[in-house]
Structure 1
Amino acid sequence: MTVLAAVIALVGSLFFALGAALQQFEAAGTAKPTLLTLLRRPRWLLGGLSILSGGGLHIVALGLGPLTVVQPMGVASLLFALPIAAALHGRRPTRKELSAAGLVAAGLIGLVLLVPESEGPTYLSPNGVLTLLAVAGIASVLLWAGSKIASPAGRAALLATSAGVLYGATATLMRALVDGSWNWWYLLALPVPALLALVMLQRAYAVGHFGVSFASLQITDPLTAVAFGALLLGEPLPSGLVPIAAAALTAAGTFALARTSPMEARH
């Protein structure tokens, strides 16, 4: 069952990578891609369906195998996404791009595996939800503002990081709902960070540096969820020098992608 879980998670990563590459291809080169515009593009919708399929397969894999096997397979989406995106834009990924992506993936796998597993159900109070939304909102606005004065690669990274923070908040709120922290307005609040994250991510994709934006999203989303878990739910954080080394790898890989990832616009 563990082998089956790994295979399913790997296929899910491929679907997720394909979906991200398709959506980036449609958003690339657009000054301010709106969801209404993108929703009228069949290839962008196909990308969304592929991402949902990848997420569903990841959930199935988690039900069949241990987290320590499934999560690293999920990180493989970065290594799948770069060649797919390059092919859509009519080129081949360079060795430097793939090497940088490998650094990010290695560091992210280390960080994912080092996070202690939470014990017991998750409870998030109404004040905790308000704090979650406020912190995520302020952080995302600051990152969006910083993107206005950044280089193109920096703008892609900051916008995708903003999306990752909002997705991390969404994941934390979803966990609380699944574990029984029930309140009717929690359901109303849930789509807000998710939709804002989607908008921010499409703006990051529009810049054209797909490797940078996708890597930034892959890093920020889980790390933000871990940070919120520690801040609001009292969950443990990894300690020691190994997590620092893993974080340094992800930072180095993302910086290298910013230097090697080319600007791409939709043809």
Structure 2
Amino acid sequence: MLAAVIALVGSLFFALGAALQQFEAAGTARPGLLALLRRPRWLLGGASIVTGGGLHIVALGLGPLTIVQPMGVASLLFALPIAATLHGRRPSRAELAAAGVVAAGLIGLVLLVPEHDGATHLDPAGVLTLLGVAGAAAALLWAGSFAASAAGRAALLATSSGVLYGATATLMRVLVDGAWNWWYLLALPVPALLALVMLQRAYAVGHFGVSFAALQIADPLTAVAFGALLLGEPLPTGVLPVVAAALTAAGTVALARTSPLETRPDPIRPSLTTSDHA
């Protein structure tokens, strides 16, 4: 029970952080990290996300994965009302229902992944393969976003970010669970920083519900795929994973249709006149 409560509070912090960062990035033509780093609310969002991640790690130390992970998915349901409040509106029932379907499907997928107790190791060639595959997939998604609608662009950019975050999670798992290798430490910042850049670009489009849902889906699924491809971890089998994946996909499509376009254009700074200098 304590693990579930801590994980739920962590999800709330993560949702608050994501909503704050999207509010600051929304409507900006070029949401560069240097510009966003000068915005206190964006930094507060980052601190909230770090706090949520820390609480999630504490929860994993107190309870089983089957209890903690579903609480993490709840951040999607928390984030939508928080983001809507920041933008001065109420989330619609259809929007929340679609998010609930996404969460249900994602929880099913997470819980159906078999546990793996074997040794976790990745040699330098494996690290390069991981970065190469993740980078290529992220680049294709980024390129495809230019030809998509606003909702599709948000989804593709956030999926690109999720793929890179999934690669980061795989490296982190190897670093923590496996034999330590300096290759992991050197490679870790590369996908993490690129993922952050892609996510802010997704947030800037304005469809927060779509981008956050796509991130929540792509991140764990990519980590599972890399675990199977490079670490020899088992994949879920049977009909239930297919049903869960179908639920997740249907919920994401519905969310793309119901999530409104939320932008927050940067105010135009008035030009200085002669009297202003006086």
Tell me how far 1:32 sits from its aligned partner.
Answer: 1.5
CA deviation vs aligned residue, 1:80-117 (integer Å, no higher than 9, x gap)? 00000000000000000000000000000000000001
Opposite residue 41 of structure 1, the aligned amino acid is R
The one-letter code sitting in structure 1 at the alignment partner of 2:241 is P
The residue that corresponds to 2:57 in the other structure is 59
Q: Secondary structure at the match of 1:214?
A: helix
Which of 231, 246, 249 is the aligned partner of 1:248? Answer: 246
Q: CA separation in 2, counterparts of 1:85 and 1:221?
A: 21
Distance 2:122 2:183 in 1: 13
Q: Which residue of 1 aligns with 2:135?
A: 137
Which residue in the other structure is 2:75 paired with? Answer: 77
Pairing partner for 2:117 from 104, 116, 119: 119
Is the Cα–Cα contact under 8 Å of residues 167 and 222 in structure 2 kept in the other structure?
A: yes
Q: How far off its partner does 1:266 sit?
A: 1.7
Cα separation, 2, equivalents of 1:151 and 1:81:
23
Deviation at 1:206, TM superposition (A): 0.2
Aligned to 1:195: 193
Where structure 2 has 5 or more consecutive residues not aligned to the other structure, the ranges are 266-278
Residue 10 of structure 2 corresponds to which residue in structure 1?
Answer: 12
> Which of 70, 94, 97 pairs up with 2:95?
97
Of all paired residues, the percent bearing the same amino acid is: 85
Distance 2:167 2:63 in 1: 26
Q: Which residue number corresponds to residue 265 of structure 1?
A: 263
Q: Counterpart of 2:22?
A: 24
What are structure 1's unaligned runs of at least 5 residues? Answer: none
Q: Which amino acid aligns with 2:195?
A: A
Count of matched residue pairs: 265
Q: Which runs of 4+ in 1 moved over 6 A?
A: none
TM-score by length of 1: 0.98
In the alignment, is the contact (CA less than 8 A) between 1:125 and 1:181 conserved in 2? no
Larger Rg, first or second structure (1 or 2): 2
| 1:125 Cα deviation from its structure 2 partner | 1.1
Partner of 1:150: 148
Alpha-carbon distance between aligned partners in 1 of 2:172 and 2:66, rounded to the nearest angstrom: 21
Does residue 49 of structure 1 match 2:54?
no
Q: Which one-letter code corresponds to 1:202 in the other structure? A: Q
CA distance in 2, matches of 1:117, 1:16: 25
Give how far 1:121 is off: 2.6
Q: Which amino acid aligns with 1:219?
A: I
Out of 215, 218, 221, the position equivalent to 1:217 is 215
CA RMSD between the two structures: 0.8
Shift of 1:188: 1.5
Measure, in 2, the Cα distance between the counterparts of 1:207 and 1:152: 7
**Could you tell me how far 1:180 is from its partner in structure 2?**
3.1
Query: In 2, distance between residues paired with 1:44 and 1:121?
Result: 38
**Cα shift readout 1:31-75 (whole Å, capped 9, x = no counterpart):** 110000000000000000000000000000011111111100110
